[in-house]
């Protein structure tokens, strides 16, 4: 009888251990991996949200920048991490929608290797041109490009980046042809646009809005379905000449596959509360990021839709990276 009771006690301890760990979560700092260098838009968003999540969870959420391979290195590190909620990823349209079609060798599966937690924010892109081009609307830009196929160049932050593919999608939907000029980052591309070396660019709104306000470049249209509160006078591409066009960057938290649902739910709740906080919303709005705070099911559906959307665009662009 004594042996039986001992065995039952041990079994109870085994089954209670994981449950207790989930109940106590988090009892130590959480590492939020940003798969890009410090200072970029994803890093800025992550640090704003991590600070508030630290308050909500009463444990430090530490941003860990692991750039490389378009976000693949950091994402792969999280995919291989222990599924305990203490290592999570700030994923993007690149890591979970574009890279799977762009890279011939992927170190992770964007669906099978991750547990979706929360879609935190959307960041609009914007179509901008040099003032000398003489166009101010999407319809005028399309008319100019149709009359002059392959005459005009458009700049992006690099081959296969969301900004490059925003241009490729524009070409496909509008039935126009431009010459793509990839740069090593959006900063150098913007410098050449301001200088007039290139005439057209697809950029993130946060990095372009200052130049638009100064008048050094012309904002043509926002790429999201709705206008941005940061630039309410700018129409959307869809409403101003190309119905149905939509691109944007987004940031979402993912955990390794197999992370227990109670932990996922705690992280999702903390993320949603963080982006709903008035102070956080204001800070995000300053960089043109729109708070979302959607949960695991919504994020899973979002990733599925984004994969279906960007796969054909990457293929049509001819972009491919063999790493």
- Averaged pLDDT for residues 199-212: 90
- Averaged pLDDT for residues 152-163: 90
Q: How far, CA to CA in Å, does 27 sit from each of 22, 23, 30, 248, 262?
A: 10, 10, 9, 35, 14
Q: What is the pLDDT of residues 168-193, one digit of tens each?
A: 999 999 999 999 999 887 888 999 99
Percent of the chain with pLDDT over 90: 72
pTM of this prediction?
0.82
Which domains are assigned to the chain? Answer: 28-123+248-317 (3.40.190.150), 124-222 (3.40.190.10)
User: What CA–CA distance (Å, rounded) separates 258 from 227?
Assistant: 38
pLDDT at 8: 53
Contact yes or no for 315/100 (Cβ under 8 A): no
Beta partners for residue 129, in sequence order: 200, 218
Would the pLDDT of 24 be above 80? yes
Q: Are strands 248-256 and 114-129 parallel, antiparallel or unpaired?
A: antiparallel
| Coil vs helix vs strand at 321 | strand
Q: What is the mean pLDDT of the chain?
A: 91
pLDDT at 70: 86
């Amino acid at each position: 009888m004594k042996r039986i009771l001992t065995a039952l006690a041990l079994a109870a301890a085994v089954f209670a251990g994981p449950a207790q760990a989930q109940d106590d979560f988090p009892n130590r700092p959480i590492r939020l991996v940003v798969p890009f260098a410090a200072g970029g838009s994803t890093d800025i968003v992550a640090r704003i949200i991590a600070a508030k999540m630290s308050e909500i969870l009463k444990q430090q959420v530490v941003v860990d920048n692991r750039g490389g391979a378009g976000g693949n290195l950091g994402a792969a590190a999280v995919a291989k991490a222990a599924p305990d909620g203490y290592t999570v990823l700030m994923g993007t349209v690149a890591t979970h929608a574009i890279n799977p079609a762009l890279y011939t060798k992927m170190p992770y599966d964007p669906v099978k290797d991750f547990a979706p937690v929360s879609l935190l924010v959307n960041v609009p892109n914007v179509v901008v041109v040099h003032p000398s081009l003489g166009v101010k609307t999407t319809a005028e830009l399309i008319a100019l490009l149709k009359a002059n196929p392959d005459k005009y160049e458009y700049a992006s932050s690099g081959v296969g980046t969301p900004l490059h593919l925003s241009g490729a999608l524009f070409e496909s939907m509008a039935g126009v042809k431009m010459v793509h000029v990839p740069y090593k980052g959006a900063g150098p591309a913007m410098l050449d646009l301001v200088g007039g070396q290139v005439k057209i660019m697809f950029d993130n709104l946060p990095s372009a809005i200052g130049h638009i306000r100064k008048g050094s470049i012309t904002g043509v249209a926002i790429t999201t379905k709705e206008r941005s509160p940061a630039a309410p006078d700018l129409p959307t591409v869809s409403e101003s000449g190309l119905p149905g066009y939509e691109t944007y960057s987004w940031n979402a938290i993912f955990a390794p596959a197999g992370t227990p649902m109670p932990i996922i739910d705690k992280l999702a709740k903390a993320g949603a509360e963080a982006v709903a906080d008035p102070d956080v919303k204001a800070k995000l709005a300053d960089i043109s990021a729109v708070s979302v705070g959607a949960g695991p099911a919504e994020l899973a559906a979002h990733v599925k839709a984004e994969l279906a959307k960007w796969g054909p665009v990457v293929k049509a662009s001819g972009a491919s990276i063999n790493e």
